[in-house]
Amino acid sequence: MGEPLRVGIAGLGTVGCGVVDLLQRNQELLARRTGRPIRLVAVSARDRGRPRPVALDGLRWHGDARALAEDPEIDVVCELIGGAEGIALELARRTLAGGRHLVTANKAMLAHHGAELARLAEAREVALGFEAAVAGGIPIVKALREGLAANRVRRIYGILNGTSNYILTVMRESGRDFAEVLAEAQALGYAEADPSFDVDGIDAAHKLALLAALAFGGRPRFDAIHVEGIRHVAAADIAYADELGYRIKLLGVARMTEAGLEQRLHPCMVPKDAPIAQVEGVFNGIVVEGEDAGVVVLEGRGAGAGPTASAVVADLIDIARGLRLPVLGVPAAMLADHRSAPMSTHRGSYYIRLMVVDRPGVLADIAAVLRDHEVSIEALIQRARNPGQAVPIVLTSHETTEAAMSAALARIGSLAAVLEPPRMIRIERP
């Protein structure tokens, strides 16, 4: 049996305690699989006296997490504090600069500073593991960095936030609107008191920045992602999607186009029979389209103590085995600075819902605007007439550009018979 890998953990929240529990409970199994013990020796958290569901007896306690980076008896630091800046970033920099390995679940920090930290880790010849930063227990980082390394990725997309997926699933199953389901999710603990990071797409966009970097060999570019959340998705949209043969999912999508690397995070309608449409509740799902491997689908729990701790410890196992790979799939010095494709250049199909006054000529006026912008109608739903009253018109388009559709909707929204801003959801097909 080799020398132990000595671990320090910064942050003893849900994930940190999950890692402590897993390391203690599975210590014999981990030693057999790595040929050396993985030993937790030190921890740090803001409140030492807070009750926790794990035993911390015999561990060194650092009141300042940054001290873990200077502890001579630690080989690898697990940063589980969170946040793009502040102590988490300072701890990460100090750990790597001091020649110690770093494992982190911090997608926000890596989405903004990933290229810098990758350069630092590779210069000091230490590992930077971040499997837990993307999709919890789904081993997507290992899949992209190792299992699919021989492939040129055409497109990667997925459900990257369990809270939003849970809300959309319950809306579809119950027919209720967003605000009511969100309140219920908060009461059940599936959504935070301030749900903005989840329902406005920020959390998922951080993860998309890392997936796109891994898939296309570039530096993470959070600022290049088009981000929309799910607040504007109504129960009516979900019902119409079902009638048209779709389900609505909050998807992160990255693909290389003639205009550059397209990165977008927004609600999408996906065909009911697509694998991603079957990912429900708090689960995450990711689809990778490889040039040679074809379509690879991964699904699992994207958050929680168990799945995220599993991903953290998987990185520790790699380090204990002596495995060290380029952090973002290619050497940091070779990371591309891809040109960003403007959202206006996106090509795809669209779902549009309009609320209009029911009177002769309204549909003809709408069709004329779409024609003038070279947008072709694929399907149309118009209910029984109710002259003079407000009625919905729902349509889907054939493939067109975002610029053309945006211009058409701006013109349609100005028509006197249109009573509220048009609702638009993009359609994503396998």
Strand-pairing partners, residue 263, are 254
Cα dihedral: 168, 171, 172, 175 (round 10): -160
Give the mean model confidence (pLDDT) for residues 401-421: 95
Q: Are residues 118 and 232 in the same domain?
A: no
**Does 324 map to a domain?**
no
Question: Two tokens at 384?
Answer: 């029984």
Asked which of 9-23, 184-198, 240-254, 411-425 is least confident by mean pLDDT, the reply is: 184-198
What total of structural domains would you count in the chain? 3
| Coil/strand/helix, residue 382 | strand
* Whether residue 286 has pLDDT greater than 80: yes
**In this predicted structure, what is the pLDDT of residue 298?**
97
129/150 same-domain check: no
Percent of the chain scoring above 70 in pLDDT: 99
> What residues make up the domain containing 148?
141-301+339-343
Of 400, 135, 407, 129, whose CA–CA distance to 251 is shortest? Answer: 135
pLDDT digits (tens, 9 = 90+) for 293-344: 999 999 998 878 889 999 999 999 999 999 999 999 999 999 999 999 999 9
Has residue 248 got a pLDDT over 70? Answer: yes
Torsions phi, psi for 24 (to 5 deg) = -75, -40
Active site residue 142: no
Closest to 212 (Cα-Cα) out of 270, 258, 272, 257:
257
Are 118 and 170 part of one and the same domain? no
Cβ pair 397, 350 in contact under 8 A = yes
390 pLDDT tier (thresholds 50, 70, 90): confident
Measured over the CA atoms of residue 241, residue 244, residue 246 and residue 251, the dihedral's sign is: negative
User: Could you tell me if residue 333 is inside a domain?
Assistant: no
Dist. CA 389–CA 412, nearest whole Å: 18
3-class secondary structure, 17: helix
What is residue 47's predicted lDDT score, i.e. its pLDDT? 81
Helix (H) or strand (E) holding 120: helix 107-123
Give dist(CA 320, CA 37) in Å, integer.
Answer: 8
Residues 152 and 90 in one domain: no
Q: Among 283, 318, 343, give the residue marking a domain's end.
A: 343
Count Cβ neighbours within 10 Å for each residue of 171-184 and write b for 16 or more, e otherwise.
Answer: bbeeebebeebbeb
284 shares a domain with 171: yes
Residue ranges of the alpha helices (H) in 26-106?
27-34, 86-97
In whole numbers, what is the pLDDT of the chain averaged over residues?
A: 94
Residue 355 lies in a domain: yes
Residue carrying the six token digits 């708090």:
282
Pairing label, strands 246-257, 260-271: antiparallel
Q: Is there a single domain that holds both residue 283 and residue 387?
A: no
Residues 185 and 259 in one domain: yes
Q: Are 248 and 233 in contact (CB under 8 A)?
A: yes
For residue 136, the model assigns a pLDDT of: 85
pTM: 0.94
Q: Is 193 exposed, middle or buried (0-12, 13-18, 19+ CB in 10 A)?
A: exposed
Radius of gyration of the CA atoms of the chain, in A:
24
Residues 284 and 192 in one domain: yes
Q: Mean pLDDT throughout 344-349?
A: 96
Exposed, middle or buried: residue 416 (CB in 10 Å: 0-12, 13-18, 19+)?
A: exposed
Q: Are residues 53 and 104 in the same domain?
A: yes
Q: What CATH number has the domain bearing residue 205?
A: 3.30.360.10
Q: Is the pLDDT of residue 49 over 90?
A: no
Collapsing DSSP to helix, strand or coil, 427 comes out as: strand
Contact 54, 77 (CB under 8 A): no
Burial class (CB in 10 A: 0-12, 13-18, 19+), 78: buried
Question: Are 125 and 146 in the same domain?
Answer: no
Asked whether residue 319 is domain-assigned, the answer is no
Give yes or no for a contact between 206 and 111, defined as CB atoms under 8 angstroms apart: yes
Question: Based on the domain organization, do 97 and 128 belong to the same domain?
Answer: yes
pLDDT tens-place string over residues 161-217: 999 999 999 999 999 999 999 999 888 888 888 999 999 999 999 999 999 999 999
Q: What is the mean pLDDT of residues 223-227?
A: 97
Instruction: Identify the CA nearest to 103 among candidates 11, 240, 170.
Output: 11
Shared domain check, 402 and 257: no
pLDDT of residue 384 exceeding 90, the answer is: no
The catalytic position among 107, 142, 207, 249 is 207
Looking at residue 324, the DSSP 8-state letter turns out to be -
Other C-beta atoms within 10 Å of 150: how many?
10
The label of the residue with tokens 């998309």 reads 208
Greater model confidence, 49 or 7: 7
Q: What is the pLDDT of residue 122?
A: 95
CA distance 347 to 359: 33
CATH number at residue 35: 3.40.50.720
Residue 352, pLDDT score: 97
How far is the C-alpha of 164 from the C-alpha of 157, rounded, in Å?
Answer: 16
